[in-house]
Amino acid sequence: KNQVEQSPQSLIILEGKNCTLQCNYTVSPFSNLRWYKQDTGRGPVSLTIMTFSENTKSNGRYTATLDADTKQSSLHITASQLSDSASYICVVSAEYGGATNKLIFGTGTLLAVQP
Amino acid sequence: DGGITQSPKYLFRKEGQNVTLSCEQNLNHDAMYWYRQDPGQGLRLIYYSQIVNDFQKGDIAEGYSVSREKKESFPLTVTSAQKNPTAFYLCASSISVVGETQYFGPGTRLLVL
């Protein structure tokens, strides 16, 4: 069964600190993995996308890693800011014969950055 | 200003009533999607459309209907057959359904009176 599991469910950190969010997946056939940021009451916004051959991708203070062998990904946030408070969703894409791809969404990690 | 718009932001439904959620995009994307988001669950796909006048059921299509008469528009109707409609509804679009990043609208929160 295709699944995406994220940990922790929620996290509180102080402004300026770093944090790492985890994503484990059992999705086949794997196509790519994305991290999205979703502010409360808003739609998700894409942060990074990685294919099978990529193991690191950065977007400003956000750095995503991918280990396709262990089927794990992480999102590292450096020097956190209050505006980083949001839900972070890991999304894995399974591609079936090039006709369509299916997205499997994790339940998200809710991050709260406190001053 | 390009993007995806959804309206209304909040919608209230009475028992037995059908309601329609609007989704418009000016990104010239072929593919559009409707998702439902419930607390503690990942987004679940309701319907998607690869091209005008074509749409396919997603994982939880029962109690919902859609149309795709124009490339820019993909309205979702929540029918009275949907017994638990309270949720946050997200519309998305992408260039195509194969491997492309999906861009999401701001969402509509549906509440039952």
Structure confidence by residue, pLDDT tens digits, B52-95? 999 999 999 999 999 999 999 999 999 988 889 999 999 999 99
Would you call A101 and B102 a contact, using CB atoms and an 8 Å cutoff? no
Would you call A106 and B42 a contact, using CB atoms and an 8 Å cutoff? yes
The total of other beta-carbon atoms located within 10 Å of residue A36's CB is 24
Name residues 83-102 of chain A within 8 A of B (Cβ). Answer: 89, 93, 95, 98-101
- What is the count of residue pairs from A and B with beta carbons less than 8 Å apart? 50
The total of other beta-carbon atoms located within 10 Å of residue B14's CB is 9
Q: Is B40 on the interface with A (CB under 8 A)?
A: yes
Rounded distance between C-alpha atoms, residue B67 and residue B50, angstroms = 12
Q: Which helix (H) or strand (E) holds B106?
A: none
Q: Is the pLDDT of residue B1 over 90?
A: no
More confident residue, B96 or B49: B49
Tokens 């396709």 belong to which residue? A68
pLDDT tens over chain A, length 115 residues: 889 999 999 999 999 999 999 999 998 888 899 999 999 999 999 999 999 889 999 999 999 999 999 999 999 999 999 999 999 999 999 876 655 678 899 999 999 999 9
Q: Is the dihedral of CA A60, A37, B26, B98 positive or negative?
A: positive
Q: Give the model's pLDDT for residue A95.
A: 77
Would you call A101 and B98 a contact, using CB atoms and an 8 Å cutoff? yes
Within 8 A of B92 by CB-CB distance, chain A residues are 43
